[in-house]
Structure 1
Amino acid sequence: MQLAQQRRAFIMETVRRDGAVRVAELVERLAVSDMTVRRDLDALAARGLVEKVYGGAVAAPGTRVEEPGFDAKTALAGPAKAAIAETAAALVEPGSVVAVSAGTTACAVAARLLDVPRLTVLTNSLPVAELVRSASRDRGEAAVPTLLLTGGAPTPSAALVGPLAELVISSLHVDLLILGAHGVSEEAGLTTPNLAEAQTNRTLIGAARRVAVVADHTKWGTVALSGFAPLDRIDCFVTDAGMPASGREVLADTVGELLVAGAE
């Protein structure tokens, strides 16, 4: 019998591919009881990932189960990400150790850290690593942050994940984590479509003294397959002026500090 997490990942993959699932089909494919399948669907529905219908379930509105590539995500909400990056970069102190997660907004923050003196950057993001390496070639190693790359297996979003990445991260201590997210919601917290990336993000959070999430307003209300942190675990949440009032209210009441880039 498969573990609940494995069954639910299979169910979500089927919903992504077909738009719906049938209980009878899942019972046969997963070799479990009707009651087990219904419990799985109840659990996914409670997280806002599916909507139960007679005989099965369909994809819930607003749910994101596909993982777009890094280049595809780069083009989304560009001005908002730039404003967020400027605000988040101001949180970084010279001489500190900063972890930067995968994601286009986190990468935008990293681009603004190249001139911070005596900085060490730990990352599991291939684009962030290339950004620092490129600057090093152009300006010399002494003029840019020291780079520590976790290693691991790459995901479609160019994140290095898995046991190797987690082993490296868990052996280190960082002052501040700049953390991206595919989705943010009051109930599900921070989420991502990739199970392995979620686990690596949890490890990053565990290694950090402070956690700063960078997420534009389009992420609010989106729930992806795997959660990796509740909102009350976040020390600082940096977003843009497009964040709706309801989202600002929830975040202000839950996270340690809310910073809205570009707000008057």
Structure 2
Amino acid sequence: MSENQNLLAEQRRALIVDEVRRRGGVRVNELTRQLGVSDMTVRRDLDALARQGVLEKVHGGAVPVVEASTHEPGFEAKSGLEPTAKEEIARAAARLVAPGSAIALSGGTTTYTLARRLLEVPDLTVVTNSVRVADVFHTAQRTTGRRPGAATVVLTGGVRTPSDSLVGPVADRAIAALHFDVLFLGVHGISVEAGLSTPNLAEAETNRQLVRSARRVVVVADHTKWGTVGLSSFAALHEVDTLVTDGGLPAEARAEISERLRRLVVAGEPEDDEEPEGPEED
């Protein structure tokens, strides 16, 4: 299968997931007409999406997966979801980072993708509670040698979660003693009512501390996170300065977010041209 065919399959599957979530279920024959592909292609797409855990196959179609608010997927499971959107979001978010900044990156697959985009930004100080994010910088420096301008990385301690974040009192105390210019925050869910939420209670408290220690808060989240609610809320929307998301976010959601946040950046769209979020002037 060619690279272009792979991309088309990914786009097609994203549309299927959106339809399932929007309508509460879809039928195979409806999808074949809507997408202009064969019955076999649709069934393969549904098989792949069911393996990823984002929908459930039923006779003749598919329905949403009903997850408990405490369900927390592992890092590998989340890595396979919306990869193109995460790359676009990371590219847009990286443009908000000024050389010489002190930034924080929370755990998550989108912040992990962003970390790889930040390897060429000089003189960063990076605070993170993500083992995966720290490994991005460590591996790059081990492979190429520590060059002038390479990032200084501060990895908090703590108890490891299924998503490879370090949380709990040890992490909270370490973060409370620090102050950074910008926090880039991945989320499990985001909504008007619940704000930012996670299924992990200890992670919620650590995320609260990250928010308290940041001058600016930038949430990096693809459109599928909108409307998802985890067990514990850790920040209201008014505490967020910027949301960086992808073009799949519905118009109604954009309007609601724009009413509550200072800035909405949709990767690849004209608003995606802001100045870097550097250190503030005294």
Please classify the TM superposition score into its range, dividing by the shorter chain length. 0.7 to 0.9
Relative distance call for 1:242 and 1:62 in structure 2 (3 A) is farther
Q: Which residue of 1 aligns with 2:10?
A: none
Per the alignment, in what secondary structure is the counterpart of residue 141 of structure 1? coil
Q: Which residue of 1 aligns with 2:179?
A: 173
Tell me, yes or no, if the aligned pair for 1:62 and 1:222 is still in contact at 8 Å: no
- 185, 188, 206: which is aligned to 2:194? 188
Amino acid in the other structure paired with 1:114: L
Q: Which residue of 1 aligns with 2:232?
A: 226
Q: Does 1:115 align with 2:123?
A: no
Amino acid in the other structure paired with 1:89: A
Instruction: For structure 2, list consecutive stretches of 5 or more residues without a partner in the other structure.
Output: 1-64, 271-282
- 141, 144, 152: which is aligned to 1:139? 144
Q: Does 1:84 align with 2:102?
A: no
Tell me, yes or no, if the aligned pair for 1:62 and 1:221 is still in contact at 8 Å: no
Amino acid in the other structure paired with 2:172: E
State how many pairs are aligned: 205
Q: Which residue of 1 aligns with 2:220?
A: 214
Q: Which residue of 2 aligns with 1:126?
A: 131
Q: Which residue of 2 aligns with 1:106?
A: 111
Q: Which residue of 1 aligns with 2:247?
A: 241
Residue 63 of structure 1, CA deviation: 5.9
Determine the C-alpha separation between the residues in 2 that align with 1:189 and 1:165. Answer: 23
For 1:42-81, list aligned pairs within 5 A. 64-81=69-86
Tell me, yes or no, if the aligned pair for 1:165 and 1:200 is still in contact at 8 Å: yes
Residue 65 of structure 1, CA deviation: 2.6
Tell me, yes or no, if the aligned pair for 1:63 and 1:222 is still in contact at 8 Å: no
Relative distance call for 1:62 and 1:250 in structure 2 (3 A) is farther
Determine the C-alpha separation between the residues in 1 that align with 2:116 and 2:253. Answer: 27
Relative distance call for 1:189 and 1:62 in structure 2 (3 A) is farther
Determine the C-alpha separation between the residues in 2 that align with 1:64 and 1:240. Answer: 24
Determine the C-alpha separation between the residues in 2 that align with 1:194 and 1:161. Answer: 9
Determine the C-alpha separation between the residues in 2 that align with 1:167 and 1:92. Answer: 26
Per the alignment, in what secondary structure is the counterpart of residue 166 of structure 1? helix
Determine the C-alpha separation between the residues in 1 that align with 2:252 and 2:246. Answer: 14
Residue 142 of structure 1, CA deviation: 2.9
Determine the C-alpha separation between the residues in 1 that align with 2:68 and 2:192. Answer: 14
Amino acid in the other structure paired with 2:119: L
Tell me, yes or no, if the aligned pair for 1:88 and 1:109 is still in contact at 8 Å: yes
Residue 62 of structure 1, CA deviation: 7.1
Q: Which residue of 1 aligns with 2:50?
A: none
Per the alignment, in what secondary structure is the counterpart of residue 147 of structure 2? helix
CA deviation string 1:219-242 (max 9, x = no partner): 000011000111111011100000
Residue 140 of structure 1, CA deviation: 1.7
Tell me, yes or no, if the aligned pair for 1:70 and 1:156 is still in contact at 8 Å: yes
- 150, 153, 177: which is aligned to 2:156? 150
Determine the C-alpha separation between the residues in 2 that align with 1:163 and 1:62. Answer: 28
Per the alignment, in what secondary structure is the counterpart of residue 269 of structure 2? coil
For 1:10-21, list aligned pairs within 5 A. none
Per the alignment, in what secondary structure is the counterpart of residue 175 of structure 1? strand
Determine the C-alpha separation between the residues in 2 that align with 1:205 and 1:217. Answer: 22
**What TM-score, normalized by structure 1, do the two folds share?**
0.75
Determine the C-alpha separation between the residues in 2 that align with 1:140 and 1:205. Answer: 33
Tell me, yes or no, if the aligned pair for 1:100 and 1:123 is still in contact at 8 Å: yes
Tell me, yes or no, if the aligned pair for 1:62 and 1:223 is still in contact at 8 Å: no
Determine the C-alpha separation between the residues in 2 that align with 1:201 and 1:103. Answer: 12
Q: Which residue of 2 aligns with 1:159?
A: 165
Determine the C-alpha separation between the residues in 1 that align with 2:238 and 2:147. Answer: 38
* Identity %, equivalent residues: 54
Q: Which residue of 1 aligns with 2:24?
A: none
**Where do 4+ consecutive residues of structure 1 move more than 4 Å?**
60-63
Determine the C-alpha separation between the residues in 1 that align with 2:132 and 2:111. Answer: 10
Amino acid in the other structure paired with 1:68: P
